[in-house]
Amino acid sequence: MVLPIAAQSAEIDVDAFNTYSVPPFVASAGRGLDVEVVDYLNRKLQGSYRLKLSVLPRERLLKRHLNSPHRFAGLSLFMAPQFVDDVAQQQFLWSPPLFDDQNMLIFRGAPRSKVQRLEDLKGLRFGGVLGYRYVGFDDMVAAGSLVKENAGSAQASLRQVCLGRVDFTQMSRVMFDALAAESGCADRLVMQAVPQSAPFGRRIMMGRAYPELAAKINEAVEQMPCDREWRRVAAGHRINLPACRGVLR
């Protein structure tokens, strides 16, 4: 009787993917947000599941792991439903937001006038990251009204702006806050929200194979804003957490 009971109580390994290879999501010192989130969740899940972190490009996640959404048995960090065409949240299970973020336009020096709509950017050179989707901008590139220069990473794209090789780039506010100091021209960079964009919650996207795991993760994420240690981690990465709706502990 001992062996079946022990096997039944063993932790189930689940792949946890991070498609961002730049700060604050990863860090050279090894304590990026991806490691912090996975370590936090593994402490909460101890005895039932264990998350195994992998960093891989977004295109590889889409083509290798999400090509059949109903078969996806892992999870992906820092995602939003619109990133994977799941606005209705029917293909995957979604956690509450880990934190809010927003897409920003980054220029070297202020543009002549504030960009009120995407059409104001016609004729400019846009610095993108290979494999990323850019709502609105991709259509403009396809129509020939915007020139796109792809870089291999967000850091490289930001440096392209500093060098004047592109006129602007787009990245999230959280990412820009982490990368600006290493750009080479931080004091000259100007940021504004993408026109008609709204803040979005970065969540954990989960396959439907383990609904029990999703329930446990959702409970853990809801507790994060009231966890003093997690608040310390978030502050270290300049992340604004949702308000604590309970008692700090």
Give residue-wise pLDDT tens across range 82-97: 888 899 999 999 999 9
Residues 52 and 26 in one domain: yes
pLDDT of residue 2: 45
Residues 151 and 122 in one domain: yes
Strand partners for 245: none
> What percent of the residues of the chain are helix, what percent strand, and what percent coil, each to the nearest 5?
40, 25, 40
Domain end (from 193, 212, 244) = 193
pLDDT of residue 173: 94
Q: What CATH number has the domain bearing residue 216?
A: 3.40.190.10
pLDDT of residue 158: 94
Instruction: For residue 198, give the 3-state DSSP assignment.
Output: coil
Question: Among all chains, which residue has been given the structure tokens 């977004």?
Answer: 58
Host domain of residue 182: 103-193
Would you say residue 249 lies in a domain? Answer: no
Would you say residue 241 lies in a domain? Answer: no
H or E element, residue 156: helix 154-162
Would you say residue 31 lies in a domain? Answer: yes
Residues 6 and 32 in one domain: yes
Would you say residue 246 lies in a domain? Answer: no
Would you say residue 21 lies in a domain? Answer: yes
Residues 44 and 25 in one domain: yes
CA 175 – CA 158 distance, rounded (Å): 11
Residues of the chain below pLDDT 50: 1-7
Would you say residue 83 lies in a domain? Answer: yes
Number of domains in the chain: 2
pLDDT of residue 9: 60
pLDDT of residue 47: 86
Would you say residue 8 lies in a domain? Answer: yes
Residues 219 and 172 in one domain: no
Would you say residue 244 lies in a domain? Answer: no
pTM, 2 dp: 0.86
Residues 208 and 95 in one domain: yes
Residues 47 and 126 in one domain: no
CA 47 – CA 51 distance, rounded (Å): 12
Residues 205 and 220 in one domain: yes
Residues with Cβ within 8 Å of 91's Cβ and at least 6 positions away in sequence, in order, are: 69, 70, 84
Q: With the CA atoms of 65, 71, 77 and 79 taken in that order, what torsion angle do they form, in degrees rounded to the nearest 10?
A: 90
